[in-house]
Structure 1
Amino acid sequence: MTTEAQTQKHAVVIGAGPAGLMAAEMLSDAGMSVTVCDHKPSVGRKFLMAGKSGLNLTKVEPHDRFMNAFTDAKDPLMPIISAFDGDAVQAWATGLGQEVFTGSTGRVFPTVMKASPLLRAWLVRLSEAGVQINTRWCWTGWDGSKLVFETPEGTQMVQPDVTVLAMGGASWARLGSTGEWAKVLAGDTPFTPFAPANAGIAMDWSPHMAAHFGKALKGIALKSGTYRSRGEAMISRDGFEGGGVYTVSRGLREGHPLMLDLLPDQSAEALAAKLDQPRGKMSMANFMRKALKLDPVKIAVFQEMARPLPQDSKALAKLLKALPVKHGGLRPMDQAISTAGGVKFDAVDDALMLRNRPGVFVAGEMLDWEAPTGGYLISACLATGRWAGQHAAAWAQKG
């Protein structure tokens, strides 16, 4: 007589971030024996780092607008995210005992504003479901149909019925996303090279800017190519950081100039009229502060970028509305919030299974998509992990 243990299918998930853990949960829910393998000593490291700034889980906005954030990958991601949208992400979090709230911009956060309670609750649920997690297991490829891992106990080989790859992109390598997996897949899997996404902008500041390090440039608009944002930019020793900057960083990566509007709620004509007032003996900086109500940070950045300042009020107003930012390009990829590039959607079928490796599915940032910060990144990782896990289970159970 065949026992349940003998007939139960076995799945291996490689990568223990949100995409991998979600895939593991779906496989377990389908009745499979599941092992999660990760090369770091603990799981969800980048997820926990994201939680230090509040853990933006998703965003409440019309679905079409939400999907537009994924630009080139909108079409392949549409059915995947539609099946696990922002409402579903919120229900998932509350199902783990974590209340959420929606901020004024539509961004959704856990009420506790950190990731660790949610991750702990999730790991407990996975453990109770029988999911096994192996840490310090580094995947190095295949030996025939077997997965090969380097572990503290030496080389281990595993032959699962189905595999889900969810090893992230290539930013923040110290947290686990090294991108080394690309070398394993190279040659037989169509792949877009990695590039920084949601990256800061490098600046070589003059000494007078040191007084403003750590301060925010607020109430501004940024533009680079077709990418635009409203918000703020943090001034650091190395350059500009922050959500407003990350949203337009793709434009810089594509080679477009960066333009800064210091007063987006006022027209150039209105500014020119204010600048036409008599200046008297005031310095230009003091005059702009009083006439335009520019704060010291905006004045400092304006002078940094626009010196020598034009004397004509119309020319000055034009610069305030479209200030070319002299910069040193994007910060290094490993310092970016996320990466563009990865396994092309042409390389996987509609179930996210690799066309050239039946039984191997791909999820999360390993796939070639990018989106700005603001709830899109984690939401898409969870959705692709869920989709890959569900379809992997269905594929295995047909075999």
Structure 2
Amino acid sequence: MSAAPPRVAVIGGGPAGLMAADVLSQAGVAVAVFERMPTVGRKLLMAGRGGLNLTHAEDPSTFLARYGRHHGALAPFIARFDATAVRAWAAGLGIDTFVGSSGKVFPVGMKAAPLLRAWLARLQAAGVHLHPRHRWTGWDADGALRFDTPAGPVGYRADATVLALGGGSWARLGTDGSWAPVLADAGLDVAPLTPSNCGYEIAWSAHFRERFAGEPLKAVRLSITDPAGQVHTRQGECLVTAAGLQGPLIYALGAVLREAVATGPATIVLDLMPERSEAQLAAALATPRGARSLSNHLQRRIGLKGIKAALLREALSGAALDDTGAIARTLKALPLQVLRARPIDEAISTAGGVRFAGLDHRLMSTARPGLFCAGEMLDWDAPTGGYLLTACLATGRAAGAGALHWLSTRQERNIC
């Protein structure tokens, strides 16, 4: 009689957990996926409402650089499951993809639901068992996994476990970071969770906030100096909110912003007219305006109006608005004081989590052999644009493969 296949528990039904389950089940392992919410993939479906950005088609070195100081830790996993591999994986589920004008990769239908349905169908055909409404609470004294369920506490004994519990944002979708103290108590090294891809607060005037909250700020260049004195600059667009600023340009510099405001307010600098030099602006504005109002003069001479004109008035007032040199300088370097990040539950993703130093090259905990970690619960972050999902899929795949390797070596040791 053949021995029963080993049992692996995958805790977390997001992209990383489902990818680990995919790898394990295709190898013939008995896989049980435990999810605290009523259904799996909720954050994936939410992210896909405006078009599911799977990955990004750009040069591999540029792609890896998007992960900032964490790029070295993630490099081996992404090298084995890069943007090309993500597209091939989606094609294997019957989902064609295309590259948008910005380099972002989307499913042809743009939505997440068809991909998730096809993925779940493959997992279920491979014998994966889904257990919704199971909130993991740790281990019992004998090492069995513990879960809270609507029917009461239950236990599950696994030969290996993959944790893919997400970060600490969007708690309503099941990712609240409650796992962090459980793992810290178990001896794992966990960095505090902080908001990433989030808005930052700025003390707008009441007039500006009431008039322009919800308006996009397009074609601007943002610069910020990090604590080491290095200037970081990106060009793009962001969104003015009642609380401050958010959106792609803010997210792209999120890691630097987060570090800059860690000890108090920090200053960012906006170039409102990056296509023109300060000298060009000053020369255009030096033409006498006669009876025209300042607003009309700015619009006629340099095309400044709307939200950018209002930002200028946030920075300058009184006699300074009669100084064309001061106007030109401010348009090229308008300072804004950033107070703090918005609350973590408003963030798209989080930084912090299980540190790579406490994991081996297969993402297994050195403090608890047989336990693997994957996805956003690891200590890394990245801007939006397909980078988050790619790293979740890549580390989920690596954790699944790592669990397979652990099971095979353990079986060899038992035989010997």
Q: Deviation per CA, 1:305-362, whole angstroms, max 9, x where unpaired?
A: 3334443322221211111113432211111111110111101000000000000000
1:130-141 correspondence runs (5 A): 130-141=127-138
In the alignment, what sits opposite 1:253? 258
Of 118, 122, 134, 2:119 maps to: 122
Total equivalences in the alignment: 396
Quote the residue 1:293 is aligned against: 303
Runs (5+) with no aligned partner, structure 2 = 226-230, 261-265, 411-416
Within 5 A, what are the aligned runs for 1:134-283?
134-143=131-140, 144-187=142-185, 188-209=187-208, 210-225=210-225, 226-255=231-260, 256-283=266-293
- Aligned pair in 2 of structure 1 residues 230, 398: CA closer, same or farther (>3 Å)? same
If the length of structure 2 is used for normalisation, what is the TM-score? 0.92
Q: Distance in 2 between matches of 1:298 and 1:258?
A: 16
- Aligned-pair distance for 1:156? 1.1
Alignment of 1:334-373 (within 5 A): 334-373=345-384
Amino acid at match of 2:304: L
Which structure 1 residue ranges, 5 or more long, are not aligned?
none
2:202 alignment partner AA:
M
1:113 deviation in Å?
1.7
What letter corresponds to residue 6 of structure 2 in structure 1?
A: K
Q: In structure 1, what is the Cα distance between the partners aligned to 2:340 and 2:369? A: 41
Give the conservation status (yes or no) of the 8 Å contact 1:57–1:89. Answer: yes
In structure 1, what residue type is equivalent to 2:250? V
**Aligned residue type for 1:194:** L
Q: Report if the CA contact (8 A) 2:23-2:397 is conserved.
A: yes
SS in 2 for 1:199: coil
CA distance in structure 1 between the aligned counterparts of 2:145 and 2:15, rounded to whole angstroms: 22
3-state SS of the aligned residue for 1:260? strand
**For residue 28 of structure 2, what is the aligned residue in structure 1?**
31
Structure-2 separation of matches of 1:306 and 1:249 = 27
CA RMSD of aligned residues (A): 1.5
Q: Residues of 1 paired with 2:234 and 2:31: CA distance?
A: 42
By how many angstroms is 1:238 displaced? Answer: 2.9
Q: Distance in 1 between matches of 2:248 and 2:385?
A: 8
Distance 1:227 1:90 in 2: 31
Give yes or no for the alignment of 1:79 onto 2:90. no
CA deviations on 1:86-143 (whole Å, 9 max, x unpaired) are 0111111122122211111111111222211111111111111111110110000011
CA distance in 2, matches of 1:228, 1:138: 42
**Percent of aligned positions that are identical:** 47
Q: Is structure 2 residue 8 aligned with structure 1 residue 11?
A: yes
User: Cα–Cα, structure 1 residues 307 and 90, in superposed 2: closer, same or farther, change >3 Å?
Assistant: farther
8 Å CA contact 1:9, 1:397 repeated in 2:
no
**Kept in 2: contact 1:201–1:241 (CA 8 A):** yes
Aligned to 2:106: 109
- In structure 2, C-alpha distance between the alignment counterparts of 1:307 and 1:389, rounded to whole Å: 60
TM-score, normalised with respect to structure 1: 0.96
Worse overlay, 162-171 or 268-277:
268-277
